[in-house]
A = this chain, B = another copy of it.
Amino acid sequence: MNRTALINQIKTKKSFLCVGLDTDTAKIPKHLQSNPDAVVEFNKAIIDATKDYCVAYKINTAFYEAMGLKGWQAMEATCNYIPQTHFKIADAKRGDIGNTSAQYAKTFFQTFAFDAVTVAPYMGEDSVKPFLEYDNKFTIVLGLTSNAGANDFQKLTVDTNNQQKKLYEVVLEKIAGWGNADNLMFVVGATQASDLKNIRTIIPDNFLLIPGVGTQGGSLEEVSKNGMNADCGLLVNTSRNIIYASGDENFAATAAKVAKDYNVEMSEYLKDVF
């Protein structure tokens, strides 16, 4: 899916919601746990229930890999079940030397049919570029993350060209030059909403993938106010507080209700841009 198609979906649905399928077998409803395809069945029910209210799904590879082969199968089945109308993100946070990053890009863009993959920036240009070589695919690089550990390195003060900047600012600025708004997005945590205005001065046009609304405590209103651009430019992800909204047999209906509430709130914030 390209950027224009993504923006059209956002306009049509009045939603920039991404539902995170971080499906943990220990957390899905009890009545499903004996099912040998519990994860896939759970994901299908969540997708069916939420697809009218969101424009993207994000599969965090960790939860699938932890199950071994069976998990890898569940990830493939889930990826294939997501409708073509929705933007499919592999939240994999990969990155290696060029030769190896090329294999990861092949994994998510060819072996699987994801539209986007998250990438860690630490190893620099040759670790990011192989992902950018695919047409109509997006590389989503970690900028400023939502977790407490973001303070350890991302906010360090860096001296560069006689200026002092935060490391994440240098990361955003430098990596933005390796791609463009049609193939490159950045992760900025919702818990960092106060930094979003500044971030928009560095990368005005790129879409931002924003995790951290919901369980991690980020505010959708703050994110929207500070991070939106003329194309919306945001994909706000929430995982646990949608998919585990209820642990009973009505889990899908409850997930739908929470997703719809986000959709309603988002449609208000979108009135300023579309």
Task: List the interface of chain A (C-beta within 8 A of B).
Answer: 22, 24, 60, 62-63, 65-69, 72-73, 76, 91, 93-98, 100-101, 103-104, 106-107, 110-112, 120-128, 142, 145-154, 156-160, 164, 167, 170-171, 174, 216
Contacts and interface: CB of A to CB of B under 8 A. Distances in A.
16 contacts: A62-B104, A66-B104, A66-B110, A68-B107, A68-B112, A95-B120, A97-B145, A120-B123, A122-B145, A124-B150, A127-B149, A128-B149, A152-B174, A156-B167, A156-B170, A158-B158
B65 A111 contact: yes
Task: Name the 3 nearest CB pairs between A and B, nearest first.
Answer: A124-B149, A124-B152, A62-B103
Contacts of A125: 148-149, 152
A25 B68 CA distance: 22
B153 A121 contact: yes
Contacts of A103: 24, 60, 62-63, 65-66
B69 A122 contact: no
B122 A151 contact: no
A236 to B, nearest CB: 16
Contacts of A149: 97-98, 123-128
Contact of A123 (B98, B111, B145, B158): B145
B126 A153 contact: no
Given A120-B95, A156-B158, A160-B156, A100 B60 contact: yes
A24 B159 CA distance: 40
Which of A152, A157, A171 is the most central at the interface, judged by chain B CB atoms within 10 Å of its CB? Answer: A152
Contact of A153 (B66, B122, B151, B164): B122
A173 to B, nearest CB: 11
Given A68-B112, A122-B142, A123-B147, 6 more contacts: A22-B100, A95-B120, A97-B147, A120-B120, A124-B153, A153-B174
Contacts of A107: 62, 65-66, 68
A68 B158 contact: no
Given A97-B145, A103-B66, A159-B157, A151 B123 contact: no
A164 B128 CA distance: 27
